[in-house]
């Protein structure tokens, strides 16, 4: 894929930035190449207004507790020609006495700095590998005025990394994150583990990391929100926003989800020429009340889809025939030519993936600084998938629909109705058990040496690709209630009113006819399913957790009591045994003991 910003001389890497901690001013930018503001020099501390949180993202909260760390973060675009800016930052600290050149503003015992790369494409792993080496070399100089190595890094990365996106790269959590579109907060420390976990989960969804995050950071800073937000314009039109909130999850009657807007002064799109329907060049938060967001059927029926396909109702025969997908499907990306989505604005494959989840004010922030806390309650933000290390985020549970505590491997959901919607079906439990068994199973093969296909990262992603493809294909069938029941009826009802489903369903995807509909693990119930359901209920329900804790406590008490009783009973038995032995010894006749020698003497005399 060619880089879209062909007119700009910049390559894949936009800037190399050094962020340090000043004892008076806090986190600040100390160096940038090229300058973040062209009119100012490389050592300017000033920032563009939209990137005012850059220092706090690159130098995370609590970083002083770790010798080194790595952070992934997203920044909003500075202009309409740009999309999401992907940041990778490597943090280190060094003792001040070890510096060869100690500057005047170094007053603490340690010096904390981060070297950051701002990129156009989400090459997190590749950039991190190169950046870690350069950061170590930069610190080994022990003279932070030596910036030539950073300039060489910029030139090297733009020369070696083409302006392309990468190709080919769990169940309950998957439903929660990218289909229902709620507010999900990941919490763990350090930051490297946080961002790694979040991005790993996103990588399970076909094409999401490669092409689905282009609009995931379209937010406003706090000052711009307070200046531009007008309640009299936002509140009346709140009904036109997509029905992605958890209050709509229990809605089963969706007849009102496609009603046209109340503004009757605008002519119906059915009377307009198809050529007037154009994909938005830049999806901004201000356009979240447009026809693309409400997806009025009158907009969809008269348009022209991708590659000349008519936009409208999906053909009922689509997906009814075709070659069944193999057990080991290829990755969803790279199988065909990517095209620009008419409604999503994202690069899509022939299956219409990735789903348009992180669009229209739905944010993906791998790391969220404390200074961005206002985004959790911003009316322009439909939802978010964000990571945080500060405990203040976790304490304010009312701002998030779910909190994923990575350290405890626990997902906290306060709303019981939401838990019912996300409850796994029997087929989902089979799928999860299948994955866990293949990942945890020890496969001893002298030839593979632990590098086999099954149970590996790409194998897991292929299984989720199969799951998503089968789910989408099932929604295209007529009389598909039985097929969709394996995915959970409440879940399907909630998903069909989301923005990403409406966008995907509005276009024809001819390659979906190659996918066999139905859950990959559908089938008759068995005793194993009962065991899976019981195990899942015990592990995930509140009553089950209390029962499990009670059983564990009782077991420990029984074991400890048994040991104590055994020791006491054993001691009593030993004492009683010795006492009985002494008593029986006193009852034995004494002459019998001495009769031996006398008898032998008499016998000898007789002889």
The strand pairing partners of 232, in sequence order, are none
- Counting beta carbons within 10 angstroms of the beta carbon of residue 450, is it exposed (0 to 12), middle (13 to 18) or buried (19 or more)? exposed
Give the other-Cβ count within 10 Å of 231's Cβ: 8
Distance, C-alpha 113 to centroid of its chain = 27
Q: What one-character DSSP code corresponds to residue 310?
A: B
Over the stretch 238-285, which tens digit does the pLDDT of each residue have?
334 344 444 344 344 443 433 333 344 343 333 333 333 344 444 443
Q: Evaluate whether the domain defined by 13-162 bears CATH number 3.30.450.
A: yes
Quote the strand ranges of 59-192, DSSP E: 68-75, 85-95, 110-119, 183-187
How would residue 520 be classed by pLDDT, with cut points 50, 70 and 90?
Answer: very high
- For residues 28 and 55, the answer to whether their CB atoms sit within 8 Å is yes
Residue 136 pLDDT > 50 = yes
Residue 369 has pLDDT above 50, yes or no: yes
pLDDT at 83 over 50: yes
pLDDT tens digits, residue range 303-361? 333 333 333 333 334 333 333 333 334 444 444 578 887 788 888 999 999 999 999 89
Kindly report, residue by residue over 175-211, the tens digit of the pLDDT. 666 556 689 999 999 999 999 999 999 999 999 999 9
Burial grade of 153 (CB within 10 A; 0-12, 13-18, 19 or more): buried
Can you read off the two tokens belonging to residue 200? 């790993």
Lowest mean pLDDT among 106-110, 404-408, 434-438, 458-462: 106-110
Q: 223 pLDDT band (50/70/90 cuts)? A: low
Smallest CA-to-CA distance from 118 within 82, 150, 75 is with 75
pLDDT score, position 8: 47
Calculate what percentage of the chain has a pLDDT beyond 70: 61
- 12 with 119: CB under 8 angstroms? yes
Q: What is the pLDDT confidence band of residue 577, given thresholds at 50, 70 and 90?
A: low
Q: Contact 99/143 with Cβ under 8 angstroms?
A: yes
Q: What is the pLDDT of residues 322-337, one digit of tens each?
A: 333 333 344 444 445 7
455: confidence class by pLDDT, cuts 50, 70, 90: confident
- Average pLDDT for the chain: 73
Question: Is the predicted pLDDT of residue 447 greater than 90, yes or no?
Answer: no
Structure tokens that stand for 142 in this block:
């022990």
d(CA 128, CA 136): 12
> What's the gap between Cα 167 and its chain centre?
19
Instruction: Give the three-state DSSP class for 475.
Output: helix
- Render pLDDT for 379-396 as a digit per residue (tens, 0 to 9): 889 899 999 999 999 888
How is the chain split into domains, by residue range? 13-162
Which of 80, 346, 367 minimizes the C-alpha distance to 210? 346
Among all chains, which residue has been given the structure tokens 């300039």?
151
Give pLDDT, residue 25: 84
* Average pLDDT of the segment spanning 521-536: 72
CA 439 to chain centre: 19
Tell me what pLDDT residue 186 has: 94
Bridge partners, 340 (sequence order): 347
Strands 183-187 vs 402-405: parallel, antiparallel or unpaired: parallel
> What are the counts of helices (DSSP H) followed by strands (DSSP E) for the chain?
20, 12
Ramachandran bin of 479, using left for φ above 0, alpha for ψ from -120 to 50, beta for the remaining angles: left
Give me the pLDDT at residue 539, please: 63
pLDDT at 153: 92
Q: Helix (H, G, I), strand (E, B), or coil: what is residue 155?
A: helix
Distance between first and last Cα of the chain: 122
């Amino acid at each position: 894929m060619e880089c879209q910003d062909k007119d700009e001389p910049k390559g894949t890497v936009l800037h190399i930035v050094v962020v340090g901690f000043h004892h008076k001013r806090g986190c600040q930018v100390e160096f940038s190449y090229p300058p973040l503001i062209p009119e100012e020099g490389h050592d300017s501390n000033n920032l563009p207004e939209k990137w005012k949180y850059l220092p706090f993202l690159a130098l995370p909260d609590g970083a002083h507790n770790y010798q080194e760390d790595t952070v992934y973060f997203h920044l909003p675009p500075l202009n309409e020609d740009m999309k999401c800016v992907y940041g990778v930052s490597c943090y280190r600290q060094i003792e001040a006495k070890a510096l060869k050149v100690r500057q005047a503003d170094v007053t603490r015992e340690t010096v904390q700095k981060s070297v950051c790369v701002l990129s156009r494409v989400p090459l997190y792993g590749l950039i991190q590998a190169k950046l870690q080496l350069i950061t170590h070399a930069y610190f080994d100089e022990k003279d932070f005025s030596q910036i030539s190595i950073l300039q060489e890094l910029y030139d090297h990365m733009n020369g070696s990394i083409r302006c392309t996106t990468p190709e080919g790269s769990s169940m309950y959590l998957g439903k929660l994150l990218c289909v229902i579109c709620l507010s999900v907060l990941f919490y763990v420390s350090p930051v490297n583990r946080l961002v790694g976990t979040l991005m790993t989960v996103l990588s399970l969804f076909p094409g999401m990391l490669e092409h689905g995050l282009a609009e995931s950071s379209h937010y406003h800073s706090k000052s711009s929100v307070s200046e531009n937000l007008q309640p009299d314009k936002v509140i009346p039109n709140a009904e036109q926003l997509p029905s992605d909130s958890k209050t709509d999850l229990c809605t089963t009657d969706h007849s009102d989800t496609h009603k046209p807007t109340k503004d009757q002064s605008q002519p119906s799109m059915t009377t307009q020429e198809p050529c007037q329907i154009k994909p938005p060049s830049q999806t901004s938060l201000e356009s979240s009340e447009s026809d693309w967001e409400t997806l009025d059927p009158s907009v969809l029926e008269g348009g022209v889809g991708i590659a000349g396909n008519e936009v409208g109702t999906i053909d009922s025969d689509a997906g009814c025939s075709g070659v069944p997908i193999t057990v080991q499907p290829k990755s969803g990306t790279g199988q065909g030519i990517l095209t620009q989505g008419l409604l999503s604005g994202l690069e899509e494959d022939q299956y219409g993936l990735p789903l348009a989840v992180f669009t229209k004010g739905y944010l993906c922030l791998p790391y969220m600084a404390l200074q961005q806390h206002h985004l959790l309650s911003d009316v322009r933000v439909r939802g978010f998938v964000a990571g945080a290390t500060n405990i203040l985020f976790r304490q304010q549970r009312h701002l998030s629909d779910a909190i994923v505590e990575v350290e405890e491997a626990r997902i906290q959901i306060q709303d019981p109705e939401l838990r019912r919607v996300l409850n796994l079906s029997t087929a989902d439990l089979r799928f999860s058990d299948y994955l866990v068994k293949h990942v945890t199973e020890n496969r001893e093969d002298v030839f593979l040496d632990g590098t086999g296909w099954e149970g590996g990262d790409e194998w897991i992603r292929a299984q989720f690709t199969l799951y998503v493809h089968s789910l989408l294909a099932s929604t295209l069938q007529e009389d598909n209630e039985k097929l969709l029941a394996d995915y959970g009826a409440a879940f399907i009802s909630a998903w069909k009113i989301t923005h990403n489903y409406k966008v995907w369903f509005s276009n024809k995807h001819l390659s979906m006819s190659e996918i066999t509909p139905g859950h990959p693990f559908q089938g008759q119930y068995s005793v194993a399913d009962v065991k899976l359901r019981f195990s899942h209920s015990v592990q995930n329900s509140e009553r089950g957790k209390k029962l499990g804790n009670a059983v564990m406590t009782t077991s420990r008490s029984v074991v400890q009591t048994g040991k104590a009783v055994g020791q006491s009973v054993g001691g009593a038995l030993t004492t009683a045994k010795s006492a009985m032995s002494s008593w029986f010894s006193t009852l034995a006749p004494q002459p019998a003991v001495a009769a031996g020698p006398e008898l032998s003497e008499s016998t000898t005399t007789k002889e």
